[in-house]
Structure 1
Amino acid sequence: MTGRKIKTFAVLLPLALTACGGGDTQQNIAALDNEIGVNGADPALMSALGDQIMVDPQLAAQSNKDAIRPPSQPYSAQLPAETVAAGKAAMPKDGELMKAPAPTKASSQAFAAQEQAITLGGMAARQKNPRTAGCAAKLGYSAGWAARMPADMPLHPQARVVEAAGTQADGCSLRAVSFSTPQPLQTMIDWYYTRAMKGGYSAEHQLKDGQHLLGGTRGRDGAAFVAFLSARDDGGTDIDLIADGAK
């Protein structure tokens, strides 16, 4: 049925209802329904209206952004489980961790890099090691750098990476990663202290306002590292780790 014919019926219908009695009205309505619904219907239109509606259940579950109540789950993918390893380093057994020395009171300069920096690059640029600071300007951001930490200063196997950056340009070998682990603060301090000792680094432990700094250098190749560690409310640990694998 054409659009003009449908409009004609819409105009005539109220006039027919006004002019006729109750019985005639019902007959007119039935006649119009019959013509619109059967005799005068477009077969393609009726077939399309009669087909079953296809619905993607996954998209339908997220299609309530304008609803009064919020969706039952976030649209983005969930964070990986805490048991997902971010690096290849093996977890030391309970008896293999060395006990880190008690922290000394930090100087005001020691934590300035983290307190003043907004990005990982800014933190690296404020390190007192001139090589690390010089390479910081070449950092590029990508989660892939988290898997390219120096073998002797890796991410913890339960690391959940928040941000990662690194560079291998112009002789630099710098990595900077912000991550968390479900392990308690003291365990992570001992874990990285053990890594430093086994890797031939010196290791200095400082404390300021509940935040710990563990850092050191290695004389034979100029490698250096610094880790800022703080306890999380859920019992885990937040860590910012910068490692310069200089040679």
Structure 2
Amino acid sequence: MIMRGKWLVAGLLVATAPLAGCRDNPNAKAELSPLDDGLTNADPTIKGSLEDKIMVDPKLAGQSNQNAVGPGNKPVDGGVPGVAGAKAASAAEAAAAQAAGKLLAAPKALPYEADCKGDCANAAKRPVTIGALAREQAKGSCDAKLTYGNAWADRLPPAFRLYPRATLREAAGVAGGKCNIRVVNFQTAASMQAVLDYYHTMAVRAGYTSDHRVNGDEHVLGGTKGELAYVLFMRRDGGMTDVDLVASGGK
């Protein structure tokens, strides 16, 4: 199966570039949003563990989606066969509410480039294909390589497990050391707002901070807890909510 163009194997790392370049404010640490604080130069520990480039093996990239459950040329139904449209969304959202309990509303989205002080137009650009990402990371210093397989989805941190009834499209990760991250792409029939609320709730209850940004049609939710961090990129795609989730830590 051909690699999806929007698949971002290192979204967490790439996301730090525009945030560090445009919205870092060391004089206001208490007020900084999670992505402004924990995912930028404000914390050298996090920077060292999360901003180091991952060396992606281009030879493995083409194999990464071999066992993924994909929709082919038809819309994915969120893992609820025979249930279409609104019913599939309702079923997915009900399952999420049951898993998370009472959901908290995600914070209002702020512009992705809010308080920009640098060249945000260039900083916000990030690779959108494995090949481009591999070239970008060729000079990386991380000694671990990203590996692919659906089993990585089972090794996500507890707060960031796959959305209930979602369809896993792709999964990858690096185990151990400073490059200990998990990366998944999935689609769900649930609305984007429902997905935002779910992961905001799970993050906050697990002790993470939560920050919501919007960049065109793409929403970004992310935050930190100590040396751990997470970020989700989501957009609507063919009636589904398409999500790239990246989190450090995990089993």
* TM tier relative to shorter chain: 0.5 to 0.7
Identity %: 33
Q: Which residue of structure 1 lines up, in the alignment, with residue 80 of structure 2?
A: 83
| 8 Å CA contact 2:182, 2:250 repeated in 1 | no
Which of 129, 137, 140 aligns to 1:118? It is: 129
When Rg is computed on C-alpha atoms for both structures, the one with the higher figure is 1
Match of 1:241 in 2: 245
Deviation at 1:119, TM superposition (A): 3.0
Specify whether residues 175 and 95 from structure 1 end up closer, same or farther in structure 2 by C-alpha distance, changes over 3 A only: closer
Residue 97 in 1 paired to residue 103 in 2?
yes
Moved over 4 A (4+): 133-137
**CA deviation vs aligned residue, 1:171-197 (integer Å, no higher than 9, x gap):** 542100111111011100111111110
Aligned counterpart, 2:145? 138
Sort the Cα spacing of 1:224 and 1:109 in 2 relative to 1 into closer, same or farther, 3 A: farther
Does the 8 Å CA contact 2:103/2:197 hold for their aligned counterparts? Answer: yes
How many Å separate the matches in 2 of 1:215 and 1:173? 17
Q: Report the counterpart of residue 204 of structure 1 in structure 2.
A: 211
Matches within 5 A, 1:1-247: 82-83=79-80, 91-93=96-98, 96-107=102-113, 108=120, 112=124, 115-119=126-130, 122=133, 137-170=144-177, 172-219=179-226, 222-234=227-239, 236-245=240-249
Aligned in 2, Cα 1:202/1:168: closer, same or farther, shift over 3 Å?
A: same
CA–CA distance in structure 2, aligned partners of residues 239 and 162 of structure 1: 10
Q: Determine the structure 2 residue equivalent to 1:70.
A: none
Asked if the contact 2:78–2:188 (Cα under 8 Å) also holds between the matched residues in 1, the reply is no
Take 1:150 and 1:226, find their aligned partners in 2: how far apart are those partners?
12
Deviation at 1:143, TM superposition (A): 1.3
Letter of the structure 2 residue corresponding to residue 228 of structure 1: F
Equivalent residue letter for 2:244: D
Q: Residues of 1 paired with 2:192 and 2:79: CA distance?
A: 16
Aligned to 2:39: none
5+ residue gaps, structure 2, are 1-71, 82-94, 114-119
**TM-score (norm. length: structure 1):** 0.53
Distance 2:78 2:188 in 1: 11
Q: CA RMSD in A?
A: 3.8
- For 1:91 and 1:190, the matched residues in 2 are separated by 10
Distance 1:188 1:175 in 2: 18
Distance in 2 between residues matched to 1:110 and 1:192, nearest whole Å:
29
Deviations 1:190-225 (A, max 9, x none): 111111101111111000112100010102xx1100
**Matched position secondary structure for 2:187:** strand
d(CA) in 1 for partners of 2:173, 2:198: 23
**Cα distance in 1 for residues equivalent to 2:215 and 2:231:** 15
SS where residue 91 of structure 1 aligns?
Answer: helix
Structure 1 residue matching 2:169: 3-state secondary structure: strand
Q: Relative to 1, partners in 2 of residues 1:164 and 1:135: Cα closer, same or farther, differing over 3 Å?
A: farther
Separation in 1 of the partners of 2:131 and 2:247?
Answer: 12
